């Protein structure tokens, strides 16, 4: 090999070495909403960019949206099994599997999705090893509080009786049953189909998601109150995290904090809140705003859900009252508790 050839080969090798160093790890992130959803465009994509910058370009993350790697309800197991390195999950799609976190699904807890999600993440970090030890819990995420949207008026609990409802999670499904309705539990991407084929005539959803999932023309009556928050989370494959060098593992840990949870949810929350204004301005839609007496009726109707959850905690040897108080205190600490 002559001197020029050797120099060329060395330059190529150095270039290849720099390329390898620049992107040592390519991770997969799976979620089940469309790639145009504000969760991705306003939350996930900036989060990935921040990780890339903090790692000096050594961590890249490929996004697999819209259930490309598996059904919505399977995303926790996908992270556990390494089908995805990072997964966006709705624990309420697997009833009974995460009973402590299910406390956050109870109605009339969340005033917003910003400070509240920060408080939620901080609170659940005390319990994630009990329920999600097969994965690494990164952070909780949620949307601006959602409500009920129907083909006919919904103003008081009695308006649910006799109707079929697509609930947001298992806790809300139980609430529908307590109200005398029938629950049809399908994930958000199947909302439109359930409404259009008559399987459901009411759906629970945050506001903008009615447009995102194509249900806005199917439900024209809306209960105008912060009814519930559908709890979501990022979980990560433990083998992937444990296999990272210490410095890169720290980069990922720095992006799995209560503060990051608030940052990640802020854009999504704003987009959902804007959907409410969009619907309010549309004469084809009717907003039904309950008065104080009617709000009390909804809260009274929901009270048995808390009693059932407390009884479940007692049956498992947990101090449910202390867990619930801890959640409420954490939400209140960041101005995220409903009614405070």
3-state secondary structure 168-190: CCHHHHHHHHHCCCEECCCCHHH
The crossing angle, in degrees rounded to 10, of helices 115-124 and 258-280 is: 140
Q: What is the pLDDT of residue 23?
A: 66
pLDDT for position 43: 97
Question: What's this model's pTM, rounded to 2 decimal places?
Answer: 0.91
Q: Could you tell me the domains of the chain?
A: 22-144+228-287+300-340 (3.40.190.170)
Residue identified by tokens 């084929």 is 197
Q: What are phi and psi of 263, to 5 degrees?
A: -65, -45
pLDDT for residue 18: 38
- Where do the DSSP E strands lie in the chain? 25-30, 59-64, 86-89, 135-141, 147-150, 164-166, 182-183, 202-205, 221-223, 232-237, 286-288
C-alpha to C-alpha distance for 32 and 35, rounded to whole angstroms: 9
Which pLDDT does position 340 carry in this prediction? 83
Average pLDDT, the chain: 93
Which segments of the chain have a pLDDT < 70?
1-23
What DSSP element (H or E) covers 327?
A: helix 320-333
């993350």: which residue's tokens?
61
CB atoms within 10 A of CB 52: 17
The residues that bridge with 86 in the sheet, in sequence order, are 29, 236
């Amino acid at each position: 090999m002559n001197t020029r050839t050797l120099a060329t080969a060395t330059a190529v090798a150095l270039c290849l070495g720099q390329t390898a160093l620049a992107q040592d790890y390519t991770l997969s992130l799976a979620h089940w909403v469309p790639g145009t959803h504000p969760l991705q465009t306003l939350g996930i994509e900036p989060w990935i960019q921040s990780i890339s910058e903090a790692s000096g370009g050594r961590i890249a993350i490929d996004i697999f949206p819209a259930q490309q790697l598996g059904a919505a309800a399977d995303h926790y197991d996908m992270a556990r099994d390494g089908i995805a390195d990072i997964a966006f999950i709705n624990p309420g799609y697997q009833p009974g599997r995460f009973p402590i976190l299910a406390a956050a699904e109870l109605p009339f807890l969340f005033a917003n999705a910003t400070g509240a999600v920060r408080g939620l993440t901080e609170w659940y970090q005390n319990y994630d090893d009990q329920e999600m030890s097969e994965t690494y819990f990164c952070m909780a995420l949620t949307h601006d509080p959602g409500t009920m949207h129907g083909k006919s008026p919904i103003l008081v609990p009695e308006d649910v009786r006799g109707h079929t409802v697509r609930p947001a999670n298992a806790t809300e499904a139980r609430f529908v049953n307590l109200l005398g309705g029938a629950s049809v539990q399908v994930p958000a991407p199947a909302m439109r189909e359930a409404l259009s084929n008559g399987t459901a005539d009411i759906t629970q959803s945050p506001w903008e998601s009615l447009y995102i999932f194509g249900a806005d023309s199917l439900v024209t009556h809306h209960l105008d109150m912060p009814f519930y928050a559908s709890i979501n989370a990022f979980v990560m494959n433990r083998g992937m995290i444990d296999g990272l060098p210490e410095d890169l593992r720290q980069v990922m840990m720095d992006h799995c904090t209560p503060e990051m949870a608030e940052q990640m949810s802020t854009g999504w929350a704003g987009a959902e809140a804007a959907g409410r204004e969009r619907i309010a301005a549309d004469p084809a839609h009717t907003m039904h705003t309950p008065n104080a007496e009617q709000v009390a009726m909804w809260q009274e109707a929901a009270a048995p859900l808390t009693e059932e959850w407390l009884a479940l905690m007692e049956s498992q040897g947990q101090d449910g009252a202390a867990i619930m108080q801890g959640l409420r205190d954490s939400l209140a600490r960041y101005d995220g508790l409903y009614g405070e």
